[in-house]
Amino acid sequence: MPANGAPTKITQGSQTKGGIGESTLRPDGTLKVTGEFAYSSDMWHEDMLWGQILRSTVAHAEIVSIDISEALAMAGVYAVLTYDDLPTAVKNYGLEIQDTPVLAHGKVRHHGEPVALVAADHPETARRAAAKIKVDYRELPVITDEASATAPDAILVHEGRDDHHSGHVPHPNIVHRQPIVRGNADEAAKRADVIVKGEYTFGMQDQAFLGPESGLAVPEEDGGVHLYVATQWLHSDLKQIAPVLGLPEEKVRMTLAGVGGAFGGREDLSMQIHACLLALRTGKPVKIVYNRFESFFGHVHRHPAKLYYEHGATKDGKLTHMKCKIVLDGGAYASASPAVVGNASSLSVGPYVVDDVDIEAIALYTNNPPCGAMRGFGAVQACFAYEAQMDKLAKQLGMDPVEFRQLNAMEQGTIMPTGQPVDSPAPVAELLRRVKAMPLPPERQWESSEGADVRQLPGGLSNTTHGENVVRGIGIAVGIKNVGFSEGFDDYSTAKVRMEVIGGEPVATVHTAMAEVGQGGVTVHAQIARTELGVTQVTIHPADTQVGSAGSTSASRQTYVTGGAVKNACELVREKVLEIGRRKFGSYHPAWATAELLLEGGKVVTDGGEVLGDLVDVLEDETVEIEAEWRHRPTEAFDLVTGQGNGHVQYSFAAHRAVVEVDTELGLVKVIELACAQDVGKALNPLSVIGQIQGGTTQGLGVAVMEEIIVDPKTAKVRNPSFTDYLIPTILDTPTIPVDVLELADDHAPYGLRGIGEAPTLSSTPAVLAAIRNATGLELNRTPVRPEHLTGTV
Amino acid sequence: MRVNFTVNGRPQEADDVWEGESLLYVLRERMGLPGSKNACEQGECGSCTVRLDGVPVCSCLVAAGQVEGRDVVTVEGLADFAQQRSESGCATGACGTSLQDAQQWRAKGTDSQTGEGTELSPIQQAFIDAGAVQCGFCTPGLLVASDELLERNPNPSDADIREALSGNLCRCTGYEKIMDAVRLAAARQSEGV
């Protein structure tokens, strides 16, 4: 085994072009730039109908009556379905807790909950018909925060809970609670020379993937249905869909349609069951496409959070203890809340060594919009808070904030608050050093001989300043994210790899059910196949449920786990191919039996480089195909009282330095530069790695200065469900993002790689906040920061 | 109603168009041209950007009836449009497109399943080469907008690029590779590559 962090030695495939480590280009690139790539909203079928969902206009109410007669009577309407039309006893679904009604039954629990479905021959007809459905609501008081959720007389969002968390939570309106206790925080606090307490608020962020929830359900002759859909995990969808339809899983065929981004927002079902129900009812293909307004109601969001932190440190800068309580608002349905709680609590201390901790994280049931998975998954909210705490501590101690962090930075061998040792490189101090060492962007870049270029100033083309009242600030932050599904989940992937001769050339075909959502998994699979099989031609089979599960495109796990499965299947195929070779040609050359054999450039070669034969001759008309599951190391559940347990597979680290300029008079922020340093273990595709880091960084920037779903605290209704009112960063809001990639191998992972997609979303936000604090001197305990928070005009 | 207009150089006719339908809907659902995207359908994201008589517009905000007799270029026709532009004696491709020119060219049909061997315009190739495509949903709109930028400004500054593309949202890339792609296309254009 190589020394810790040293690059994994690659022998097989090192001579074959287009393998791992190269910035090969996307196999779907040409189709995506010509407009021919078929996204889920592009599906079309002869004679298809359009589905439309009627959603609740109130957040919490009993449904007194639903009258569909007028809608059903409209010309062009083929079906109107309500709860009463659901075909089986299974009427709910959910990722972990099946608490989400397919269609509302007697009650709605959040604004925008699906109540009825319409199928019609034109989308506008379907919309108008849905508007003709009369729903009589009797409104109930709304639960919107911890106080109203846990009040003694609080209405229960879900009566009669019997899920596996219901037994251990302190209140039925708490989905899950995960404490972590290690050492003795109270005792350790006595050693502290400074104690810093803070209360932090994290706003509700939306994934805002651009491709709307959509798909096409086609009824099949055997009574089943074929669903073409954009999702993050085909097999998880299938498990939830089939029982509601009353069909065996083999009669629900699923094919991944083009996915226009995901970021966690497609982990839960959206239109899948609805489209299938309408297709099976009408006997016609049914297409559903949300518009952006509906999309804001059609998927879960990032949990907004309240975070209460206490840290202590000695005067020489060593952390003594940490206590925190993290309250995540899960909204009306559980979605991924339990797992988000596990992440928030287990990563709440950040990438620092703290032996004495007292941690608690909970997720609430409320009548706010359901919240679940989004890139960073519980670690994002915690990072925002603990990094603010680090800056406050450094300031009180009179220390440099980076040096203070480096003094307390975790490293390989550090024990997490869960008792789990960090058993691969954790270059936290080094990432901080690197990001700090990057050259700073020049001051006053907007100045030129022709006056100020307002495009580069806060306020931009609104022409609000030519440099007056503009103050620069710099902030640094670092974070830790887990990779893969944690807490004892059987997190496997399946890959089917075939090798054959086509047109006189050896060709590998890789078939997985992995959802390509833009991350570039398809590029990496082809690279792995080239490296492992020594061929140039690799075909990526479309993802569907005709092959075993690939798990979710979530948790920064796909390159690690499905990539690992592809590598594993390729190795098995390679063995088989070599066996065939030995059988056919072994008698011609002793090296077939004695040497270590490799596949390179379509040939069988010895590790000394001697060519033994051509794959075309070895295979002839034989096809070698192997489907196999692959698992990473198992994990354990966290103890429900102490939080102890080896819960995570791998950790991922990134650090950011933000440079901002703030118009202090108007409270406008321009982020000038957002530099990132990240350890990726091994960059299988450097171009894609940098793309992931820059994209994640920008989503962190968004929630620092603009992105927030505003929910009315009195009515629990969403106020800004559109791209007019929910702003995501444009190219003008986004600065240059220099990236420094570190590659310290994790010996436990394929090729030493580290999951990379989420870590850059963590530290980006607190770095921007720190920079704004640095520029303004304000405390700023909430994100996103809006102008009124900077001008004191809240 | 019936609407007649030119799409990617070919005269098209759409029947039974409801008055409320957008140009985007007609392109996507009636003409089999789903390349223009439907990310917001309210003019905020730019994913549906097409050229209407040469001018970049959000096709979701154009009523189909307004397009009667006019000329539309979508991402599907971008490669041929760029080819036509360079063959019309404008080597830099930065001479603008007259309405007459726009109406005289025709997109070549392609039935490629994989895109292999497809002729691409310089901006399309640059987006692939620079890693500017991830999920790709913003890509068609950005390509049309970037192509139009380079047509009128062959050497844009970074600030120019950001200003020109500020109406096109991308959620995956953080825009850095998109900047790279436009810079790359501009550089290749000026070198005559």
Domain regions of chain B by residue span: 3-73, 76-105+120-191
Which chain A residues touch B170 with a CB distance below 8 Å?
210, 731
Q: B150 pLDDT exceeds 60?
A: yes
- What does the pLDDT read at residue B91? 44
Question: Are the beta carbons of A557 and A44 closer than 8 angstroms?
Answer: no
Q: What is the pTM of this model?
A: 0.96
The conformation of residue A365, written as its DSSP 8-state character, comes to -
A109 close to A332: Cβ distance less than 8 angstroms:
yes
Contact A25 B168 (CB under 8 A): no
pLDDT category at B110 given cuts 50, 70, 90 is very low
CATH code for the structural domain at B3-73: 3.10.20.30
Residues from chain B that touch A520, judged by Cβ atoms under 8 A, are: 134
Strand, helix or coil at A200? Answer: strand
Q: How far is B95 from chain A (nearest CA, A)?
A: 23
The interface residues of chain B toward chain A in range 36-75, judged by CB-CB distance below 8 A, are: 36-42, 44-45, 47, 74-75
Span A563-582, pLDDT tens digits:
999 999 999 999 999 999 99
pLDDT for res B93: 42
Q: State yes or no: pLDDT of B9 exceeds 80.
A: yes
CATH code matching the domain that covers A431-482+649-791, chosen among 3.20.20.70, 3.30.70.270, 3.40.50.1220, 3.30.365.10: 3.30.365.10
Cβ-based contacts of B167 with chain A (< 8 Å): 730
Q: Give the model's pLDDT for residue A528.
A: 98
pLDDT at B99: 57
In this complex, do B162 and A455 lie within 8 Å of one another by their Cβ atoms?
yes
Cβ contact A12:A534 at 8 Å: yes
CB A601 within 8 A of CB A534: yes
Ramachandran quadrant class, A477 (left: phi over 0; alpha: psi -120 to 50; beta: rest): beta
Closest CA of chain B from A699, distance in Å: 8
- In the prediction, which pLDDT does B191 show? 84
Query: How far is the CA of A607 from the CAs of A12, A70, A245, A571, in angstroms?
Result: 9, 76, 55, 16
Q: Which residue of A has its CA nearest to B180?
A: A736
CA distances from A136 to A64, A338, A764, B11 (A): 5, 33, 46, 50
Closest by CA to A533, choosing from A571, A503, A562, A505, is A571
Q: Judge whether residue A706 has pLDDT over 50.
A: yes
Nearest CA in chain A to B165: A731
Mean pLDDT of chain A: 97
Residue B118, pLDDT score: 77
DSSP state of A357: E
Provide mean pLDDT across the span A502-511. Answer: 97
The label of the residue with tokens 């407009």 reads A35
d(CA A665, CA A459): 11
Which strand (E) or helix (H) includes residue A344?
helix A337-346
Q: CA A468 to CA A466: how far, in whole Å?
A: 6
CA distance A461 to chain B (A): 9
- Which chain A residue's Cα is nearest to B111? A36
CB atoms A724 and B44 under 8 Å: yes
A441, pLDDT greater than 90: yes
A714 pLDDT more than 80? yes
The per-residue pLDDT for range A343-380, each reduced to its tens digit, is 999 999 999 999 999 999 999 999 999 999 999 999 99
pLDDT of A21 strictly over 50: yes
Which residue's structure tokens are 């072009």? A17
Q: Does the CB of B13 have a partner CB in chain A at under 8 Å?
A: no
Radius of gyration of chain A (CA): 27
Structural tokens at position A717: 């209704």
The residue-averaged pLDDT of B148-159 equals 96
**Among A58-67, A116-125, A289-298, A439-448, which is the least confidently predicted range?**
A439-448
Closest CB to A34: pick one of B20, B44, B124: B124
For chain B, give the percent of residues with pLDDT over 90: 79
* B128: closest CA of chain A, how far (Å): 6
Alpha-carbon distance of B50 to B124, in angstroms, equals 15
How many contacts (CB atoms, under 8 Å) link A and B? Answer: 194
Cβ atoms of A496 and A569 closer than 8 Å: yes
Query: Which H/E stretch holds residue B177?
Result: helix B176-191
CB contact B116 to A (< 8 Å): yes
pLDDT of residue B113: 45
Q: Is A698–B116 a contact, with Cβ atoms under 8 angstroms apart?
A: no
Residue A92, pLDDT above cutoff 80 = yes
A10-23: average pLDDT: 94
- The answer to whether A36 faces chain B, any CB pair under 8 Å, is yes
Length of chain A: 794
Cβ separation B34–A38 shorter than 8 A: yes
Return left, alpha or beta for A158; rule: phi > 0 is left, psi -120 to 50 is alpha, else beta.
Answer: beta
pLDDT in tens, B47-101: 999 999 999 999 999 999 999 999 999 999 999 999 988 887 654 444 555 656 5
Give the strand pairing for A225-229 and A252-256. Answer: parallel
CATH of domain A146-203+301-372: 3.30.365.10
Would the CATH topology of B3-73 be identical to that of B76-105+120-191?
no
pLDDT of residue B89: 61
Do the domains A40-140+213-289 and A431-482+649-791 sit in the same CATH topology, yes or no?
no
Contact B131 A687 (CB under 8 A): yes
Does the beta carbon of A261 lie under 8 angstroms from any beta carbon of chain B?
A: yes
- DSSP designation for B61: G
Cβ B137–A292 below 8 Å, yes or no?
A: no
From the candidate CATH numbers 3.40.640.10, 3.90.1170.50, 3.30.420.40, 1.10.238.10, the one assigned to the domain spanning A40-140+213-289 = 3.90.1170.50
Which residues from chain A sit within 8 angstroms of residue B174, using beta carbons? Answer: 691, 694-698, 734, 737
CATH architecture assignment, domain A29-37+492-631: 2-Layer Sandwich (3.30)
Closest to A81 measured CA to CA, from A61, A49, A108, A54: A54
Mean pLDDT of A385-398: 98
pLDDT for residue B94: 46
Q: How many angstroms separate the Cα of A757 from the Cα of each of A5, A326, A484, A549, A688?
A: 20, 24, 11, 21, 10
Residues 82 to 111 of B: which have CB under 8 A from any A CB?
A: 110
Using a CB-CB cut-off of 8 Å, the residues of chain A touching B33 are 35
Query: Is B157 in the A-facing interface, judged by CB distances under 8 Å?
Result: no
Does A35 sit within 8 Å of B34, measured CB to CB? Answer: yes
Please give the pLDDT value at position B95.
55
Residues A672 and A738: beta-carbon distance below 8 Å: no
User: What are the residue ranges spanned by the domains of chain A?
Assistant: 29-37+492-631, 40-140+213-289, 146-203+301-372, 431-482+649-791
- The pLDDT of residue A761 is above 70: yes
Triad A357, A359, A362: Cα angle to 5°: 175
Nearest to B115 among A31, A208, A724 (CB): A31
Q: In the predicted model, what is the mean pLDDT of residues A38-63?
A: 97
Q: What is the DSSP string of A594-640?
A: HSPEEEETTEEEETT--EEEEHHHHHTT--EEEEEEEE-----PPPT
CA distance A367 to A372: 14
B76-105+120-191 CATH choice from 3.40.50.2300, 1.10.3210.50, 1.10.150.120, 3.90.1150.10? 1.10.150.120
Query: pLDDT category, A791, cuts 50, 70, 90?
Result: very high
